Structure 1
Amino acid sequence: MKEAFQHYITSGAAENVKAAVLEAFPNPIGSYSTHACNTKLLKIFMDNHIDPPSVGQPSGSGSA
């Protein structure tokens, strides 16, 4: 878990996600629990998905 987190931080994904969220939601909203918000958040997640480092990963993990 520690290696995966470190990979996430060093990959630059955290900054990309932050920028994407701020762009998608420039103004405060009442709730993120709406279909439109969930759709935006899912798109941000999919656009910024990174594969975990392969070293030390159990078999069967990672992208298919």
Structure 2
Amino acid sequence: MRTDLPTLIPGPLAAQEAGVAPATIRKWVQLGRLTAAGKVGRAQLFRLEDVFAAERAAARATTRRRLR
């Protein structure tokens, strides 16, 4: 069994782990800030590290807007 493969998680679980609403995950995908790494049926699957990277980028953008 390979252990070097990334674990893929569905959008609602990704949202829970990042502390955001599932709609936020969908919005990040729509805006191109997050890309699904796979699909099972209609459900998109994400790498957790990609979700956290998108979360950090969103936080930086929010901070920049507040400093203007």
TM-score of the alignment, normalized to the shorter chain, above 0.5: no
* Greater strand fraction, Structure 1 or Structure 2: 2
Larger Rg: 1
Query: Could you say which structure has the greater relative contact order, defined with CA pairs below 8 angstroms and 6 or more residues apart?
Result: 1
TM-score by length of 2: 0.31
TM-score by length of 1: 0.32
